A and B are shown apart, each in its own frame.
Chain A
């Protein structure tokens, strides 16, 4: 298939410039587009889809379950959760008392597709234990993620060792946890044996490394030194 076009082109004139392959493909694609025929090429090309075609207006629903211990905090911070979702993201939110779920639904006013996901993530983050203001960052910034893992994933610990590991992560009065949070610009939730980290990808990685080191038994001072070094390097890059 590749051999034929050059032959035809050469037939036209004695001296013709032989174009490169990339440009050939483009021209072919363009030609195909113009003609309207399906291209014989590899990559499919789709025009951007209209919002209506996606079926946003139908009202997609997301449900976030709420455990009992987060019931009261949810009640207290309801307005803070409610306001940004409804006003900024143009979604509909409600708390289903029977199923104990927070339900978020799109409506006709919703403009952004990703709003629903963001809202769901936001609520989920809050339910996991993060502060409303911290979870709000999920809505505002695209590239924030939420990672969860367990202490026993890193190292199989039992009983007292596990407790001690958790204690090491937390530090006295939460000192160590806050230090990691401040240096890596993340938010960490330490729920017994479960750890949730909220932040950008690189920062999550840094924080995760630090926490894993702590679980594995490194003293906090060493961990501080390491994260400080890593953070400074990361900062210098920008």
Chain B
């Protein structure tokens, strides 16, 4: 209510002021394009924008002028001695700068650059402000020369400020310089990041007229490539003073040239910005009347870029269809480029660690199946729930105590050993025990056979329940397998494990020792191996055997004589002697006396040899007789002669 009135008053006032200014406007100061400030049906934002236009233009002019004046050496803005004046000046300047800063957070204009250079050259401001300016114009123009200019100035200032020397310093390297450069670069980076995404709404937009004028004003000869010298590329190597002087001398030239070069770019940029602003405003106005489903804001920018590239007159208005077409074609182009390009690693199928950047997987959200149930998230609610359950369980006394599981011992040996020793008095009497045994023996036949169908059904049910248990119970332990019936026969292992068939095997044969008893001594020795003890032992054994035999014989004889006297006396010695006597007495037999002379009868050899001799003798004799007879028979001729 009250505010509204005040606001209206303010607005009217500003309008009059603006109009007045415009009316009185000199040629020197070129303000904004609007001749008068329009306030009817405009809200604050729009009025402010109009003002801004005016202000920016004016401010530019002022900056330029100050820069020019600052170059003038007669005027000194700052000096150490004239602190008061300088301070005032600097303060005023600072204020101005601050104001500018407030209005223009991000500057992309060249003139500011000039100004900063000038300032750096002459003033001894705090680093912060200097830094601000040096960093402000970093983004758009990435000329190497400009960068060099910057670095040079930076170096220069560092030289001026920190003329200290370190141990590492060289003809080419100065530690202080490096540090300064690094700091400078860091700040640039920081500011770059801020600047990147947003459009600089508070940037200075020089109108076309102004730009042309600025161009004309600052036309100066550019250095051709032929004239470039070592100085253009590298810092001077020798004394600091020389460097400083050189730099100072060059800077003027460089500043202008740089400015010159950058201007057209900046101009184009400015044009863009200008157009953008116009377009934005127009589009906004248009959007009030007709709403498009397509988002226009971003695309208008693209449109303007495209226009620039094609070289079309940027102010021409395009029909909506054309705009859409352009967007589509742009989109298509982008997509085509994407398809032609190499795919990012995410779309490349199996990617090992070497094929993707380091730690890139950390930034990706990866989906995969979990084999294990994830641990539950513990919140207060869950804790309370859990406690409730615990309390209820305690009241119910339903402890989930662990039941000790026993491993069933399965051994054939165990089956054998099933006779458990019962140390207590038997409850059944002996009669009952035998009765039970009897019944068991005779009841094997009358076992009732289960219905096979029942068996099948039972088996199926068992398997089903087993599966269900396995599925539902997280701590499922399967039942131990039903013990298979193992037939354990108490046969000797040899008969069970005999490979050869029973008929062929010699498992049942007698062992050699069973056939012939082994010698107690062990080995059987030949006569050569026998020791005298062995021989004597054998002789003794032989004699013993003989003795025993003889005794046996005598016994038998005696027995026989007792039982059957006739048979007994047949073979006895006495009987034989008696018979001999009888015979000799009768004369049928004669006893040969053993006189030693008769060797012939001692041995068979002697006998036969003797016999042989006898026969030979006889033959001889016979022959002799024959000869004699022959001799007698032969008559002499002389005797018979008459």
A141-B431, A141-B434 known; A182-B426 Cβ under 8 A: yes
Bound together, the chains give a CA A4 to CA B419 distance in angstroms of 64
| Minimal beta-carbon separation of B601 from chain A (angstroms) | 52
Bound together, the chains give a CA A26 to CA B391 distance in angstroms of 97
B479 at the binding interface (Cβ < 8 Å): no
The contact of B430 among A134, A179, A232, A236, by CB within 8 Å, is A134
12 A-B pairs (CB sep. < 8 Å) = A133-B429, A133-B431, A134-B430, A136-B429, A137-B430, A174-B425, A175-B424, A179-B422, A185-B434, A185-B437, A228-B417, A235-B419
The contact of B429 among A131, A141, A179, A186, by CB within 8 Å, is A131
Chain B residues near A133 (CB-CB < 8 A) = 429-432
Bound together, the chains give a CA A186 to CA B423 distance in angstroms of 14
A74 at the binding interface (Cβ < 8 Å): no
Bound together, the chains give a CA A232 to CA B415 distance in angstroms of 10
A121 at the binding interface (Cβ < 8 Å): no
Which 7 A-B residue pairings sit nearest by Cβ, starting from the closest?
A133-B429, A137-B431, A134-B430, A137-B430, A175-B423, A182-B422, A136-B431
Chain B residues near A186 (CB-CB < 8 A) = 430
Bound together, the chains give a CA A233 to CA B491 distance in angstroms of 11
Bound together, the chains give a CA A6 to CA B416 distance in angstroms of 60
The contact of A134 among B421, B422, B424, B431, by CB within 8 Å, is B431
In B413-447, which residues have CB < 8 Å from any A CB? 416-419, 421-426, 429-435, 437, 441
Interface of B is mostly: loop
Could you tell me if B434 and A134 are in contact, using CB atoms closer than 8 angstroms?
no
| Contact mask for chain B residues 16-28; partner A; CB cutoff 8 A; 1 contact, 0 none | 0000000000000
Task: Find the residue from B418, B430, B432, B441 having the highest chain A CB count within 10 A.
Answer: B430
B634 at the binding interface (Cβ < 8 Å): no
B490 at the binding interface (Cβ < 8 Å): yes
Bound together, the chains give a CA A44 to CA B281 distance in angstroms of 150
Known: A136-B429, A174-B425, A179-B422. 6 other contacts (CB 8 A): A134-B429, A137-B430, A140-B434, A171-B423, A178-B425, A182-B421
Bound together, the chains give a CA A198 to CA B429 distance in angstroms of 12
The contact of B433 among A171, A185, A224, by CB within 8 Å, is A185
Chain B residues near A144 (CB-CB < 8 A) = 430, 434
Could you tell me if A233 and B490 are in contact, using CB atoms closer than 8 angstroms?
yes
| Minimal beta-carbon separation of A140 from chain B (angstroms) | 5
Bound together, the chains give a CA A181 to CA B429 distance in angstroms of 11
Chain B residues near A224 (CB-CB < 8 A) = 421
Bound together, the chains give a CA A186 to CA B422 distance in angstroms of 14
In B396-422, which residues have CB < 8 Å from any A CB? 416-419, 421-422
Chain A residues near B441 (CB-CB < 8 A) = 238
A157 at the binding interface (Cβ < 8 Å): no
Could you tell me if B432 and A179 are in contact, using CB atoms closer than 8 angstroms?
no
Interface of A is mostly: helix
The contact of B434 among A137, A178, A179, by CB within 8 Å, is A137
Chain A residues near B490 (CB-CB < 8 A) = 233, 236
A231 at the binding interface (Cβ < 8 Å): yes
Could you tell me if A185 and B430 are in contact, using CB atoms closer than 8 angstroms?
yes
| Contact mask for chain A residues 188-204; partner B; CB cutoff 8 A; 1 contact, 0 none | 00000000001100000
User: How many residues of chain A are within 8 Å of chain B by beta carbon?
Assistant: 30
| Minimal beta-carbon separation of B350 from chain A (angstroms) | 66
A187 at the binding interface (Cβ < 8 Å): yes
Q: Which residue of A lies closest to B416 (CB)?
A: A232
Bound together, the chains give a CA A133 to CA B431 distance in angstroms of 7
Bound together, the chains give a CA A30 to CA B37 distance in angstroms of 164
Chain B residues near A236 (CB-CB < 8 A) = 490
A107 at the binding interface (Cβ < 8 Å): no
Chain A residues near B418 (CB-CB < 8 A) = 232
A216 at the binding interface (Cβ < 8 Å): no
Q: Which residue of A lies closest to B421 (CB)?
A: A179
Chain B residues near A171 (CB-CB < 8 A) = 423
Chain B residues near A183 (CB-CB < 8 A) = 419, 421
Could you tell me if A179 and B423 are in contact, using CB atoms closer than 8 angstroms?
yes
| Minimal beta-carbon separation of B430 from chain A (angstroms) | 4
Could you tell me if B430 and A198 are in contact, using CB atoms closer than 8 angstroms?
yes
Could you tell me if B419 and A231 are in contact, using CB atoms closer than 8 angstroms?
yes
Q: Which residue of A lies closest to B490 (CB)?
A: A236
A233-B490, A236-B490 known; A228-B419 Cβ under 8 A: yes
Q: Which residue of B lies closest to A199 (CB)?
A: B430
| Minimal beta-carbon separation of B419 from chain A (angstroms) | 5
| Minimal beta-carbon separation of B191 from chain A (angstroms) | 96
Could you tell me if B419 and A140 are in contact, using CB atoms closer than 8 angstroms?
no
| Minimal beta-carbon separation of A178 from chain B (angstroms) | 5
Chain B residues near A235 (CB-CB < 8 A) = 419
The contact of B424 among A136, A178, A185, A228, by CB within 8 Å, is A178
Could you tell me if B421 and A228 are in contact, using CB atoms closer than 8 angstroms?
yes
Bound together, the chains give a CA A235 to CA B434 distance in angstroms of 14
Bound together, the chains give a CA A174 to CA B416 distance in angstroms of 27
Bound together, the chains give a CA A158 to CA B540 distance in angstroms of 50
Bound together, the chains give a CA A205 to CA B396 distance in angstroms of 60
Bound together, the chains give a CA A187 to CA B425 distance in angstroms of 10
Chain A residues near B422 (CB-CB < 8 A) = 178-179, 182
Chain B residues near A232 (CB-CB < 8 A) = 416-419
Chain A residues near B417 (CB-CB < 8 A) = 228, 232
Q: Which residue of B lies closest to A181 (CB)?
A: B426
Chain A residues near B435 (CB-CB < 8 A) = 140
In A206-238, which residues have CB < 8 Å from any B CB? 224, 228, 231-233, 235-236, 238
| Minimal beta-carbon separation of B413 from chain A (angstroms) | 11
| Minimal beta-carbon separation of B251 from chain A (angstroms) | 114
| Minimal beta-carbon separation of B58 from chain A (angstroms) | 120
Chain B residues near A140 (CB-CB < 8 A) = 431, 434-435
A232-B416, A236-B490 known; A178-B429 Cβ under 8 A: no
